[in-house]
Amino acid sequence: MNLETKWLEDFVALANTRSFSASARQRHVTQPAFSRRIRALEQAVGVTLVDRSTTPVGLSSEGQLFLITARNLVEQLNESLSHLRGLSIANEALDIVAAHSLALSFFPPWISRLQKGLGELPTRLVAMNVGEAIHVLREGNCDLMLAYYDPFATMQLDAEVFPSFSIGKVKMLPVSLPDEQGNPLFSIQTDSSIPYLAYTQGAFLGRSVRMLLKNDPLRMKLRTVYETAMAEGLKGMVLQGVGVAWIPDFCIRDELKTGKLVRAGDESWDIPLEIRLYRCSLVHKPGVERLWRQMMKLPRDFLQA
Protein backbone atom coordinates (compact mmCIF):
# COMPACT_ATOMS: atom_id res chain seq x y z
CA MET A 1 0.00 0.00 0.00
CA ASN A 2 1.42 3.41 -1.04
CA LEU A 3 0.02 6.30 1.00
CA GLU A 4 1.13 9.90 0.72
CA THR A 5 1.19 11.96 3.90
CA LYS A 6 -0.62 14.85 2.20
CA TRP A 7 -3.57 12.54 1.48
CA LEU A 8 -3.92 11.78 5.18
CA GLU A 9 -3.77 15.49 5.99
CA ASP A 10 -6.38 16.15 3.29
CA PHE A 11 -8.66 13.51 4.78
CA VAL A 12 -8.37 14.94 8.30
CA ALA A 13 -9.13 18.42 6.93
CA LEU A 14 -12.20 17.09 5.11
CA ALA A 15 -13.43 15.32 8.23
CA ASN A 16 -13.14 18.62 10.13
CA THR A 17 -14.77 20.93 7.57
CA ARG A 18 -17.15 18.45 5.85
CA SER A 19 -16.69 20.56 2.73
CA PHE A 20 -14.45 19.88 -0.27
CA SER A 21 -14.18 23.58 -1.15
CA ALA A 22 -13.36 24.69 2.42
CA SER A 23 -10.83 21.88 2.82
CA ALA A 24 -9.17 22.77 -0.49
CA ARG A 25 -8.70 26.36 0.68
CA GLN A 26 -7.30 25.14 3.99
CA ARG A 27 -4.88 22.80 2.18
CA HIS A 28 -3.77 25.51 -0.29
CA VAL A 29 -4.87 23.62 -3.42
CA THR A 30 -7.63 23.95 -5.98
CA GLN A 31 -10.83 22.01 -5.34
CA PRO A 32 -10.38 19.66 -8.35
CA ALA A 33 -6.87 18.78 -7.19
CA PHE A 34 -8.11 18.21 -3.62
CA SER A 35 -10.91 15.91 -4.82
CA ARG A 36 -8.44 13.85 -6.87
CA ARG A 37 -6.22 13.42 -3.83
CA ILE A 38 -9.13 12.12 -1.72
CA ARG A 39 -9.97 9.69 -4.53
CA ALA A 40 -6.35 8.56 -4.62
CA LEU A 41 -6.43 7.90 -0.86
CA GLU A 42 -9.59 5.82 -1.21
CA GLN A 43 -8.02 3.80 -4.02
CA ALA A 44 -4.90 3.23 -1.92
CA VAL A 45 -6.80 1.91 1.12
CA GLY A 46 -9.31 0.05 -1.03
CA VAL A 47 -12.54 1.38 0.51
CA THR A 48 -14.86 4.38 0.17
CA LEU A 49 -14.04 6.79 2.98
CA VAL A 50 -16.34 9.72 2.11
CA ASP A 51 -20.10 9.75 1.70
CA ARG A 52 -20.60 12.24 -1.13
CA SER A 53 -24.38 11.82 -1.28
CA THR A 54 -25.01 14.18 1.63
CA THR A 55 -24.55 17.91 2.15
CA PRO A 56 -22.40 18.63 4.01
CA VAL A 57 -20.35 15.56 3.10
CA GLY A 58 -19.89 12.86 5.72
CA LEU A 59 -17.67 9.86 6.32
CA SER A 60 -18.60 6.27 5.60
CA SER A 61 -18.37 3.79 8.49
CA GLU A 62 -14.96 2.74 7.14
CA GLY A 63 -13.98 6.40 6.92
CA GLN A 64 -14.86 7.01 10.57
CA LEU A 65 -12.63 4.13 11.65
CA PHE A 66 -9.80 5.24 9.36
CA LEU A 67 -10.02 8.82 10.67
CA ILE A 68 -8.64 7.71 14.06
CA THR A 69 -5.55 6.23 12.44
CA ALA A 70 -5.11 9.16 10.07
CA ARG A 71 -5.28 11.74 12.86
CA ASN A 72 -2.77 9.85 14.99
CA LEU A 73 -0.30 9.50 12.10
CA VAL A 74 -0.60 13.16 11.09
CA GLU A 75 -0.19 14.41 14.67
CA GLN A 76 2.82 12.19 15.35
CA LEU A 77 4.49 13.19 12.10
CA ASN A 78 3.91 16.91 12.66
CA GLU A 79 5.28 16.72 16.19
CA SER A 80 8.40 14.91 14.99
CA LEU A 81 9.03 17.33 12.12
CA SER A 82 8.46 20.36 14.31
CA HIS A 83 10.92 19.02 16.86
CA LEU A 84 13.59 18.03 14.35
CA ARG A 85 13.52 21.02 12.06
CA GLY A 86 11.72 23.79 13.93
CA LEU A 87 9.87 24.70 10.77
CA SER A 88 8.35 28.13 10.42
CA ILE A 89 5.76 29.15 7.86
CA ALA A 90 7.40 32.55 7.64
CA ASN A 91 10.54 30.93 6.19
CA GLU A 92 8.76 28.49 3.89
CA ALA A 93 10.14 28.56 0.35
CA LEU A 94 7.90 29.52 -2.55
CA ASP A 95 7.62 26.91 -5.31
CA ILE A 96 7.91 28.58 -8.72
CA VAL A 97 7.63 27.03 -12.17
CA ALA A 98 8.96 28.90 -15.20
CA ALA A 99 9.50 28.54 -18.91
CA HIS A 100 13.02 27.24 -19.63
CA SER A 101 14.40 30.46 -21.13
CA LEU A 102 12.94 32.54 -18.28
CA ALA A 103 14.39 30.19 -15.65
CA LEU A 104 17.87 30.38 -17.15
CA SER A 105 18.24 33.99 -18.24
CA PHE A 106 15.42 36.09 -16.81
CA PHE A 107 14.66 34.81 -13.32
CA PRO A 108 18.08 35.30 -11.60
CA PRO A 109 18.39 39.07 -12.21
CA TRP A 110 14.65 39.64 -11.71
CA ILE A 111 14.40 37.86 -8.34
CA SER A 112 17.60 39.60 -7.21
CA ARG A 113 16.04 42.97 -8.04
CA LEU A 114 12.78 42.05 -6.31
CA GLN A 115 14.58 40.99 -3.14
CA LYS A 116 16.24 44.41 -2.96
CA GLY A 117 12.77 45.88 -2.56
CA LEU A 118 11.11 43.20 -0.44
CA GLY A 119 13.90 41.45 1.43
CA GLU A 120 14.97 37.81 1.32
CA LEU A 121 12.62 35.47 -0.59
CA PRO A 122 13.36 31.74 -0.22
CA THR A 123 12.38 30.10 -3.53
CA ARG A 124 12.47 26.75 -5.32
CA LEU A 125 12.48 27.03 -9.13
CA VAL A 126 11.58 24.31 -11.64
CA ALA A 127 11.94 24.86 -15.41
CA MET A 128 9.41 23.36 -17.82
CA ASN A 129 7.55 24.27 -20.99
CA VAL A 130 4.70 26.77 -20.70
CA GLY A 131 1.96 24.20 -21.28
CA GLU A 132 3.24 22.01 -18.45
CA ALA A 133 3.66 25.03 -16.19
CA ILE A 134 0.04 26.08 -16.71
CA HIS A 135 -1.10 22.55 -15.88
CA VAL A 136 0.98 22.53 -12.67
CA LEU A 137 -0.47 25.90 -11.62
CA ARG A 138 -4.04 24.76 -12.32
CA GLU A 139 -3.47 21.62 -10.27
CA GLY A 140 -2.29 23.65 -7.29
CA ASN A 141 1.14 21.99 -7.38
CA CYS A 142 3.13 25.23 -7.39
CA ASP A 143 2.80 28.65 -5.76
CA LEU A 144 3.74 30.90 -8.68
CA MET A 145 4.28 30.63 -12.42
CA LEU A 146 6.62 32.75 -14.53
CA ALA A 147 5.53 32.64 -18.17
CA TYR A 148 5.20 34.53 -21.42
CA TYR A 149 1.83 36.12 -22.03
CA ASP A 150 0.14 35.90 -25.41
CA PRO A 151 -3.40 37.37 -25.65
CA PHE A 152 -4.07 35.14 -28.66
CA ALA A 153 -2.85 31.88 -27.13
CA THR A 154 -5.27 28.98 -26.84
CA MET A 155 -4.20 28.18 -23.25
CA GLN A 156 -5.78 31.20 -21.56
CA LEU A 157 -6.08 31.57 -17.79
CA ASP A 158 -9.10 33.11 -16.09
CA ALA A 159 -7.84 36.46 -14.75
CA GLU A 160 -9.99 36.23 -11.61
CA VAL A 161 -8.83 32.75 -10.67
CA PHE A 162 -5.24 33.29 -11.85
CA PRO A 163 -4.29 36.96 -11.23
CA SER A 164 -0.96 38.12 -12.54
CA PHE A 165 1.64 40.87 -12.49
CA SER A 166 3.32 42.11 -15.66
CA ILE A 167 7.02 41.96 -14.77
CA GLY A 168 8.79 42.39 -18.09
CA LYS A 169 8.46 43.49 -21.70
CA VAL A 170 10.99 41.97 -24.08
CA LYS A 171 11.36 41.21 -27.78
CA MET A 172 12.25 38.21 -29.89
CA LEU A 173 14.90 39.11 -32.45
CA PRO A 174 15.95 37.28 -35.63
CA VAL A 175 19.69 36.65 -35.20
CA SER A 176 22.58 35.04 -37.04
CA LEU A 177 26.27 34.37 -36.67
CA PRO A 178 28.25 37.23 -38.29
CA ASP A 179 30.58 36.77 -41.25
CA GLU A 180 34.14 38.11 -41.29
CA GLN A 181 32.90 41.63 -42.08
CA GLY A 182 30.44 41.59 -39.18
CA ASN A 183 27.38 41.22 -41.39
CA PRO A 184 24.83 38.45 -40.78
CA LEU A 185 25.97 35.13 -42.22
CA PHE A 186 22.31 34.53 -42.99
CA SER A 187 19.98 37.49 -43.56
CA ILE A 188 16.21 37.21 -43.75
CA GLN A 189 16.26 40.24 -46.07
CA THR A 190 17.52 38.25 -49.02
CA ASP A 191 15.97 36.56 -52.03
CA SER A 192 17.73 33.24 -51.50
CA SER A 193 16.77 30.26 -49.32
CA ILE A 194 17.55 30.68 -45.60
CA PRO A 195 18.44 27.87 -43.15
CA TYR A 196 15.90 28.24 -40.37
CA LEU A 197 16.17 27.12 -36.74
CA ALA A 198 12.61 26.67 -35.50
CA TYR A 199 10.70 26.06 -32.30
CA THR A 200 8.87 22.74 -32.19
CA GLN A 201 5.12 22.73 -32.83
CA GLY A 202 4.11 22.67 -29.15
CA ALA A 203 6.56 25.36 -28.00
CA PHE A 204 4.86 28.54 -26.76
CA LEU A 205 7.40 30.89 -28.38
CA GLY A 206 7.01 29.09 -31.68
CA ARG A 207 3.43 30.29 -31.94
CA SER A 208 4.54 33.92 -31.85
CA VAL A 209 7.01 33.34 -34.68
CA ARG A 210 4.45 31.45 -36.76
CA MET A 211 1.96 34.32 -36.31
CA LEU A 212 4.59 36.77 -37.60
CA LEU A 213 5.37 34.65 -40.66
CA LYS A 214 1.84 33.40 -41.34
CA ASN A 215 1.05 35.69 -44.27
CA ASP A 216 4.54 36.86 -45.15
CA PRO A 217 6.45 35.72 -48.29
CA LEU A 218 9.51 35.16 -46.07
CA ARG A 219 7.88 31.95 -44.84
CA MET A 220 8.46 30.36 -48.22
CA LYS A 221 12.18 31.16 -48.13
CA LEU A 222 12.82 29.62 -44.71
CA ARG A 223 14.24 26.08 -44.92
CA THR A 224 13.87 24.37 -41.52
CA VAL A 225 17.12 22.59 -40.63
CA TYR A 226 16.66 22.19 -36.87
CA GLU A 227 13.88 22.27 -34.28
CA THR A 228 13.78 22.42 -30.48
CA ALA A 229 11.36 23.66 -27.82
CA MET A 230 14.03 25.71 -26.00
CA ALA A 231 15.33 29.17 -26.90
CA GLU A 232 18.73 28.35 -25.39
CA GLY A 233 18.95 25.35 -27.73
CA LEU A 234 18.32 27.57 -30.75
CA LYS A 235 20.87 30.07 -29.48
CA GLY A 236 23.50 27.34 -29.33
CA MET A 237 22.83 26.35 -32.93
CA VAL A 238 22.92 29.97 -34.13
CA LEU A 239 26.33 30.35 -32.47
CA GLN A 240 27.49 27.32 -34.47
CA GLY A 241 26.53 29.09 -37.68
CA VAL A 242 23.76 26.65 -38.57
CA GLY A 243 21.07 29.19 -39.42
CA VAL A 244 18.69 31.97 -38.33
CA ALA A 245 16.43 31.91 -35.25
CA TRP A 246 14.10 34.24 -33.32
CA ILE A 247 15.36 34.42 -29.72
CA PRO A 248 14.26 36.57 -26.74
CA ASP A 249 16.59 39.53 -26.40
CA PHE A 250 17.46 38.89 -22.74
CA CYS A 251 18.92 35.49 -23.78
CA ILE A 252 21.36 37.05 -26.26
CA ARG A 253 22.13 40.45 -24.76
CA ASP A 254 25.80 39.68 -24.15
CA GLU A 255 26.30 38.01 -27.54
CA LEU A 256 24.84 41.02 -29.35
CA LYS A 257 26.98 43.42 -27.32
CA THR A 258 30.21 41.54 -28.08
CA GLY A 259 29.32 40.90 -31.72
CA LYS A 260 29.18 37.12 -31.40
CA LEU A 261 25.67 37.38 -32.82
CA VAL A 262 24.09 40.03 -35.06
CA ARG A 263 20.60 40.87 -36.20
CA ALA A 264 19.44 38.92 -39.24
CA GLY A 265 16.76 41.51 -39.99
CA ASP A 266 15.76 45.04 -39.01
CA GLU A 267 13.43 46.01 -36.16
CA SER A 268 10.32 45.42 -38.25
CA TRP A 269 10.96 41.70 -37.71
CA ASP A 270 11.02 41.96 -33.90
CA ILE A 271 8.26 40.21 -31.91
CA PRO A 272 7.14 41.94 -28.68
CA LEU A 273 6.61 39.71 -25.65
CA GLU A 274 5.23 40.26 -22.17
CA ILE A 275 6.34 38.27 -19.12
CA ARG A 276 3.92 37.74 -16.25
CA LEU A 277 4.01 36.24 -12.77
CA TYR A 278 0.86 34.22 -12.00
CA ARG A 279 -0.71 32.79 -8.88
CA CYS A 280 -3.93 30.89 -8.16
CA SER A 281 -6.40 32.92 -6.08
CA LEU A 282 -7.98 29.71 -4.77
CA VAL A 283 -4.76 28.81 -2.98
CA HIS A 284 -4.21 30.77 0.24
CA LYS A 285 -0.66 29.97 1.24
CA PRO A 286 0.53 32.63 3.73
CA GLY A 287 3.86 33.22 1.97
CA VAL A 288 2.18 33.79 -1.40
CA GLU A 289 -0.47 36.09 0.10
CA ARG A 290 2.24 38.13 1.81
CA LEU A 291 4.36 38.40 -1.36
CA TRP A 292 1.34 39.44 -3.45
CA ARG A 293 0.38 42.20 -1.00
CA GLN A 294 3.96 43.47 -0.93
CA MET A 295 4.24 43.48 -4.72
CA MET A 296 1.01 45.47 -5.03
CA LYS A 297 2.63 48.25 -3.01
CA LEU A 298 5.72 48.47 -5.21
CA PRO A 299 5.91 51.00 -8.09
CA ARG A 300 5.08 49.41 -11.45
CA ASP A 301 8.47 50.34 -12.91
CA PHE A 302 10.19 48.52 -10.03
CA LEU A 303 8.42 45.26 -10.88
CA GLN A 304 9.38 45.51 -14.53
CA ALA A 305 12.72 43.89 -15.40
Residue 301: the pLDDT is 66
* pLDDT tens readout for residues 194-211: 999 999 988 889 988 998
The answer to whether residues 156 and 279 belong to one domain is: yes
Average pLDDT over residues 234-251: 96
User: How many domains is the chain built from?
Assistant: 3
pLDDT band for position 83 (cuts 50, 70, 90): low
The answer to whether residues 164 and 176 belong to one domain is: no
The answer to whether residues 195 and 152 belong to one domain is: no
Residue 80: the pLDDT is 73
Residue 89: the pLDDT is 47
Does the structure show a pLDDT above 50 at 92?
A: yes
The answer to whether residues 79 and 211 belong to one domain is: no
The answer to whether residues 175 and 213 belong to one domain is: yes
Average pLDDT over residues 16-32: 91
**Residue 146, domain extent:** 89-168+274-303
Average pLDDT over residues 235-248: 97
The answer to whether residues 247 and 291 belong to one domain is: no
* pLDDT tens readout for residues 122-168: 899 999 888 888 888 887 788 999 999 877 665 567 888 889 999 98
The answer to whether residues 287 and 262 belong to one domain is: no
Does the structure show a pLDDT above 60 at 283?
A: yes
CATH number for 119: 3.40.190.10
The answer to whether residues 78 and 145 belong to one domain is: no
Last residue of a domain, one of 58, 85, 112: 85
The answer to whether residues 32 and 148 belong to one domain is: no
- Listed residue (294, 295, 252, 290) closest to 277, CA to CA: 295
Last residue of a domain, one of 18, 51, 85: 85
